[in-house]
Amino acid sequence: MLQIKDLHVSVGDKAILKGINLEIKPGEIHAIMGPNGSGKSTLSHILSGKSGYTVTGGSVTYQGKDLLDMAPEIRAREGVFLAFQYPVEIPGVSNIYLLKAALNSIRKHQGQSEVDAMDFLTLVKDKVRLLEMDEKFLYRAVNEGFSGGEKKRNEILQMAILEPKLCIMDETDSGLDIDALKIVSEGVNSLRSADRSFVMVTHYQRLLDYIKPDFVHVLAHGQIVKSGGAELALELEEKGYSWVEVDQAAA
C-alpha cells in the first residue's frame, strides 16, 4: 500500500523529517506517536499534499505510484484521506453538498458514473446513523458552529462516505471528550477492512485503547526511534517520551 523510504522533509531551512522509513500493508493500522515538535503532523501533511514543505530526499510510493508527484486532489481521488486535526469551516456550503461533490469527483476519477441523488441520500443517511449524528448536520454549513467533537465526527463521516484506501488521522483524539472519542473510534473500527490501511498520528495513548493498532512507531527529532506492537504505546504512556529520547541518545 505505502512505502516511505529515507524521507527527508524541511520547512524553509529547517529539516523536520530526517530519514523516515515505513512500510504499510493493506489492512494494517499504524500508530505514529511522539512528543510535540517531533514531526508527526509534518508526516501527515506531506502524505496528503499540503503545501509549504520541501522534500529534500527519499521517496513515497503509494500503490506502486510516486505519491509525492501527485496533486492533493489526485491523491484524494486515488484513495488517500486525511482526517484533519483542525477541520476548516466553509460558510454557506452545506455538508451534504460538499460530500456529494467530493464523492462524485472521486468516482469520476475512478471511471464510475456520478451517484444518483436518491442513492446518495440513502448512503449518507446510513452513515449518519452509524456515527450517531443528527441528520440536521447534513444541511448545516461545513463545520460552521460545530463543536470540536462534531467536527471530528464529521471527518469520520466524510471518511465513511468517500471510502478511502489509506486513512491518515491527524491527532483525531485532540479536543474530544470521552463519549465523542468512543463514537469516533467505533466509526473508525467499523471502517476497518482487509484492504484499508490507517495511519494514526497521536500524542496520547488513550485513542489506542479504542482503536487497536498493529504497529506503533515513535517519532522523535524527525526519525522513527522505536517501533513495536500495541504494547509499545502502553509502555510509552508509563515511561513518557523522555524514555525513548534518552534511549536513542544512549544508542
Partner 1 sequence: MSASAQEINNLISQDYKQGFVTELETDTFPPGLDEAVIHRLSKIKNEPEFMLEYRLKAFRHWQTMKSPEWAFVNFEPIDYQAISYYSAPKRKEDGPKSLDEIDPQILEAYKKLGIPLDEQERLAGVAVDAVFDSVSVATTFKGKLKDAGVIFCPISEALREHPDLIKQYLGSVVPHTDNYFAALNAAVFTDGSFVYIPKGVRCPMELSTYFRINAANTGQFERTLIIADEGSHVSYLEGCTAPMRDENQLHAAVVELVAMKDAVIKYSTVQNWYPGDKNGLGGIYNFVTKRADCRGENSKVSWTQVETGSAITWKYPSCVLTGDNSTGEFYSVALTNNYQQADTGTKMIHIGKNTSSTIISKGISAGRAQNTYRGLVKVLKSAENARNYTQCDSLLVGDKCGAHTFPYIEVKQPSAQVEHEATTSKISEDQLFFCQQRGLSAEDAVSMIVNGFCKEVFRELPMEFAVEAQALLGLSLEGSVG
Residues 32-71 that bind partner 1 (CB under 8 A): 48-52, 71
Residue 134 CB burial class (10 angstroms; 0-12, 13-18, ≥19)? exposed
Q: What DSSP element (H or E) covers 219?
A: strand 215-220
Residues 105-144 that bind partner 1 (CB under 8 A): 105-106, 109, 141
Residue 107 CB burial class (10 angstroms; 0-12, 13-18, ≥19)? middle
* Candidates 2-10, 56-64, 79-87, 219-227; binding stretch for partner 1 (CB under 8 A): 79-87
Sign of the CA dihedral 187, 150, 154, 116? positive
Choice from 9, 76, 208, 219 touching partner 1 (CB under 8 A): 76
Nearer to partner 1, 15 or 102 (CB): 102
Q: Give dist(CA 51, CA 74) in Å, integer.
A: 14
All cell numbers assigned to 6 = 529515507
Choice from 15, 90, 123, 234 touching partner 1 (CB under 8 A): 90
Choice from 84, 137, 198, 241 touching partner 1 (CB under 8 A): 84
Beta-strand relationship, 29-33 and 2-11:
unpaired
* Residue 8 contacts partner 1 per CB under 8 A: no
Choice from 62, 81, 137, 198 touching partner 1 (CB under 8 A): 81
Nearer to partner 1, 101 or 249 (CB): 101
Beta-strand relationship, 29-33 and 215-220:
parallel
Residues of this chain that bind partner 1 (CB under 8 A):
48-52, 71-73, 75-77, 81-82, 84, 86-88, 90-93, 97-98, 101-103, 105-106, 109, 141, 158, 162
